[in-house]
Amino acid sequence: MKAVKTRAATKGAAATRKHAEAMALEDLQKIMEWSEGKCLNEMFDNAPSHPDSVALMNLHGLMRALYPSLFVLMLRYDLHISIWGT
């Protein structure tokens, strides 16, 4: 209920936002550290021997490859919106 009241009280450009806020660099670092804890970098050096390992490596490998790029794109988009308002 608090989120609804806060949203209703928002005025100006923030009231019309249709996208998520840009991720903070600290949040990205936490996600990457969590991923490295679940799937060690050394696992990528050898071919996986079990199907579960393949799925884990695919998930974390793609996540580590794409999250930094997505972070930059979200940051640029958020900066563009804050400067130009469109």
> Encoding tokens for residue 78?
């958020």
Report the percent of the chain where pLDDT is more than 70. Answer: 70
Q: What is the pTM of this model?
A: 0.55
What pLDDT digit, counting tens, does each position of 47-71 carry? Answer: 878 888 888 888 888 888 888 888 7
Which residue matches tokens 């840009």? 22
Cβ within 8 Å of residue 43, ≥6 positions away: 53, 56, 57
